[in-house]
Structure 1
Amino acid sequence: MLSLSARLSRLATLPAKQQASATRELCQASVMYLLQHDPFYGRVLSQLAVTLQARPTPLGLRARPTDWQLIVSPAALAQTAWTGAQWLAMLRHVVLHLVWDHPDRYAAALRTPQQAPLVRWATDAAVNDYLDDLPAGAVTSQTLHTLLDQPVAAKQDSAVYWRLLRRWQTQHAATTSVTPHPVPNQEVGDQLVEQLATATPQPGQRDGHRGWATGQLSDQVARDQWRRQVLTTTAETLSAKQRGTLPGKVQAALTMMPLTHPLNWQGLLQRQLGQVPAGRQPAYGRFNRRQPQRMELPGQTVQTWQTIRIFVDESGSMGNQEIAYLLSQLTRLLAIYPASIRVYPFDTVVHSRQSFTLTGRVPDLKRVGGGGTRFQAVFDSLPRLMAGQPGQLAILLTDGYGEARVTCPVALDVIWLLTSPVAQFSVQHAPGQVISLASDPQLQALRGNLT
């Protein structure tokens, strides 16, 4: 039987008409090898439909209405000169993107030219830190350390790396706006994309991310159900010893509860976020519409959220599992907004010292409150926490049982997420938008497990 390295070498010598069949045989042999030697990756890949298609990248994921499929380009793969070990590493690379839901989490950002390269780098660095035998030039946290010229911790969530890259991009945009002649490594827009592509080999030359942005937002729930089912099926086939060899972050993904119905409250919240204006900001990559002949004047883009504060009611009616689940859902929704997201527990007071930054992974929650509920404590803390910054949003996650009236002393947008029906909400004429999560089946399942 030919080794995987021999199959790859042979693929490069075949005429174009024979490359398709050889690639299919390679994919089948690779899945069989992984099933025997690395069953987690083999099980996931065995549940992925494989399609051969001419593309500039050897492999990648493409969105379909109800699932994801693996796209392999025989011609591009034949030009890689990969070894069998490197090919297997790239298959694992694609699987980890799927396990950690990178395609749907970042689909919206990939449609923005300035954000797309940052997403590619952030997600690839998050995945590659866990892999060996990668092709030369693969992006890791060490690559980001070299590019950003600052310490970058290894094996972090992709949202952490994306935030670092966005901050780097913003700093260079600000420098460019006040410097008539930009110095090297301070370009924005198309020049920034070129810089990211030439600092090291572009990540897209290995696995394509373009297919992530082809799916419809309305189909994300169906794809997430399919992804969770794949992970559930995979977890059921692994022994305790096999699961124990996986990274902790992968083990955490295998313990997710499968969704059974769409989360309507997510769509409501996302639509609400899209309707709330957050101001505008200068953009030197756009023409000034009022004076297009003056090239030195910036245009404008809609300003996205800069500061989001989530306040979690710890009065006792919500368990840690429920809170962790709801925060994880919020993390997915808020991933498309380049914002600073911080979580504050509260009961009759806001426990600022126990707050934490939400970066894509929900930490182990330890209840610090547990008394009654006083919503006004949240609004009294807003002037200090928000500090009058533009683009501010406050989200209150609560069971809805508290006082009857509250006043908001600052101008900002407020969204209430209730775990009880709206009819049971104690506050009359509550500021902001009120959304009930009472019909969320996942939340009901968690509560059923606790009773």
Structure 2
Amino acid sequence: MSLGDFLARLHQNDGSDNHVTSAQQIRKAIISILQKQRLFGEVLLQLPRENDLQLPAMMGLRWEDNHLVLVINPEKLVHVRNDELQSLLEHEALHLIWMHPLRYASYPHQDLVQIATDVAVNQYLTESPQGTVTLSQLEKVLRQKLMPKLDSQDYLNILEQLPAEQQEKLHQPGLNLNGSKQKENATADEVKTADTHNGWQEPKTSQQVSNQVVRLANIKRILNRSWKQTPQRDRGLLPGNVKAQLQKAHQTKIVDWRQVLRHQFGLIARGQVNSHARFNRRQPLRMDLPGKVTRLDPAVDIFVDNSGSVTDQEIVQTLTTLEKMLKKTKLTANVYSFDARVTAKQKLHDGKKLDFRRTGGGGTSFQCVFDYLHLHHLTKRNRIIIIITDGWGEERINNYHYQNVYWLMMTKANQLSVKEPPGRVLEMRG
């Protein structure tokens, strides 16, 4: 949508004075954002909007038919200043850029999600929206310094690992995160809520069918269009982390993951695995290419992300495909479930029906996979490690030198949060 089309749409009268006023406010705020931070303004131009007088906050992102919509309560914008509205709109744009409504749609601890995601995005704003949490506020409550500019998942991991008494501080009624108490008799109008994350989750009564891949594609369509509409000079003004996140939207080369794993299964079934400890026979001068070593007792370990964003149907289909591939090479595999820790273990082999059921569906920690391998002293050179995931977790891990790892992504390969992941990242498309 062009800027002219957007402004024309905002001029349409929807029959309510408050709605017209809010439309004028939104228009003025986005024009200001376009002038100072073009990319954020372009993201906001791409977002459909609708009014909802029942919304408990000024605005928030909401899933509707696998599309994100910016929902606004016009009655709560009546006395909001333009600079406050700009900060709130930029806040929503940053939530979208980091795909928070997608990543945390099924997360069980939504109260902690709200704190972690707000802390993450507010660090890129000059002024934080009223009622949203900042890094300095969180540090005051926890009485500890936190690393700035981390991903929201890193802050979420910190919050989840807090002792119960510290977590309780975050939930005390009437307690602001700056440490001050709100007025006990304050009315809803006096305590204004700028942003709500309620729309990130599907209501239990919803008849919509959520699709992780479709939702990701729709978000990336918005980000790609916004990036293309942003001139090069304005891209240079973006914070480095924001720019890096947006550049992930570029297409990556598609490799058939089945073909790759079929080849690897064949190698270890014959007693051969890739190893950088040996020269590549065809190109011995290429130190980046592994050679092959012979080993006995091949092992395949499959770790399935237990997060709610990966559907049971997708997991079962993938495991069925892997079982058929293993059958041809007469290999068996251990299948584990993991989120913040590794849990259930089953055998995957011909003739046995796999009864895989997820439990919980909390935050994802890839580190627990490698901790499990290390603590159980599982060998490295004759082992293939497969991690089925949507990619959202921490950025840095200690892989204990386990290198023969294949990350099977339910989303795009460049959505894996781990920086410099060991092994190979494959997309499960097609």
Q: TM-score range by the shorter chain?
A: 0.5 to 0.7
**1:257 matched residue in structure 2:** 250
1:254–1:186 Cα change, 3 Å: closer
Residues in 2 aligned to 1:257 and 1:343: alpha-carbon distance in whole angstroms: 27
- Please report how far the alpha carbon of residue 258 of structure 1 lies from its aligned counterpart in structure 2 after TM superposition: 4.8
Shift of 1:19: 0.6
From 418, 422, 429, give the equivalent of 1:362.
Answer: 418
Partner of 2:153: 159
Letter in 2 for 1:440: R
Residue 70 of structure 1 corresponds to which residue in structure 2? 70
Q: For 1:130 and 1:214, how far apart are their aligned partners in 2?
A: 28
Q: Does 1:213 find its partner at 2:201?
A: yes
Task: Report what 1:309 is aligned to.
Answer: 370
Q: CA RMSD, aligned part only? A: 4.5
Deviations 1:407-440 (A, max 9, x none): xxxxxxxxxx9x5xxxxxxxxxxxxxxxxx5x53
Given the superposition, is the C-alpha separation of residues 327 and 121 from structure 1 closer, same or farther in structure 2, using an over 3 Å criterion?
farther
Per-residue deviation at 1:269? 8.9
Cα distance between partner residues in 2 of 1:21 and 1:86: 19
CA 1:277–1:31 in structure 2 vs 1: closer, same or farther (change >3 Å)? closer
SS of 2:172's partner is helix
Measured after TM superposition, the shift of residue 220 of structure 1 is 2.3
- The answer on 1:53 being equivalent to 2:52 is yes
- Which whole-Å deviations, capped at 9, do the CAs of 1:262-310 have from their partners, x for residues lacking one? x99965696469996779x9xxxxxxxxxxxxxxxxxxx9696872329
Residue correspondences, number = 291
TM-score (norm 1): 0.54
1:327–1:68 distance in 2 versus 1, CA, 3 Å: farther
Match of 1:194 among 172, 175, 181: 172
Code of the aligned partner of 2:111: P
Q: Percent identity?
A: 25
Deviation at 1:238? 1.9
| 1:254 to partner: Cα distance | 2.1
CA distance in 2, matches of 1:303, 1:348: 26
CA–CA distance in structure 2, aligned partners of residues 156 and 239 of structure 1: 27
Q: Structure 1: where are the runs of 5+ without partners? A: 1-15, 173-184, 282-300, 316-325, 350-358, 368-396, 399-416, 420-436, 442-451
| Change in CA separation of 1:42 and 1:163 when aligned onto 2, cut-off 3 Å | same
1:39 and 2:38 aligned: yes
Which residue of 232, 256, 273 maps to 2:224?
232
The question of 1:126 aligning with 2:120 is answered: yes
C-alpha separation in 2, matches of 1:41 and 1:187: 33
Which one of 91, 97, 100 corresponds to residue 99 of structure 1?
A: 97
CA distance in 2, matches of 1:76, 1:101: 26
**Is the contact between residue 50 and residue 70 of structure 1 (CA under 8 Å) also seen in structure 2?**
yes
Cα distance in 2 between the residues matched to 1:239 and 1:105: 29
Q: 1:235 deviation in Å? A: 1.4
1:342 is displaced (CA, Å) by 4.8
Decide whether aligned partners of structure 1 residues 343 and 328 sit closer, same or farther in structure 2, where only a CA change above 3 A counts.
farther
Distance 1:360 1:141 in 2: 25
For residues 264 and 69 of structure 1, do their structure 2 counterparts lie closer, same or farther at Cα, with a shift above 3 Å needed? farther
| SS across alignment from 1:211 | helix
Query: Does the 8 Å contact 2:133/2:177 carry over to 1?
Result: no
Question: 1:309-350 CA distances to partner (integer Å, 9 max, x unpaired)?
Answer: 299xx99xxxxxxxxxx9996432x58xxxx9654554589x
**Residue aligning to 2:429:** 440
Deviation readout 1:371-395 (Å, 9 max, x if unpaired): xxxxxxxxxxxxxxxxxxxxxxxxx
Assess, with a 3 A threshold, how the Cα gap between structure 1 residues 131 and 329 changes in structure 2: closer, same or farther. farther
Specify whether residues 344 and 206 from structure 1 end up closer, same or farther in structure 2 by C-alpha distance, changes over 3 A only: farther
1:18 alignment partner AA: D
Q: Quick one: structure 1 residues 65 and 135, their matched pair in 2 at CA, closer, same or farther if it must change by over 3 Å?
A: closer
Residue 194 of structure 1 aligns to a residue in which SS?
Answer: coil
What residue identity is the alignment partner of 1:241?
R
Counterpart CA distance in 1 for 2:27 and 2:122 is: 24
8 A Cα contact 1:52 1:74, kept in partner: yes
- The structure with the greater share of residues assigned to helix is 1
TM-score for the superposition, normalised by structure 2: 0.56
Q: 1:25 to 1:330 in 2, by over 3 A?
A: same
Distance (Å, rounded) in 2 between the aligned partners of 1:269 and 1:204: 41
State the 1:43 CA deviation. 0.8
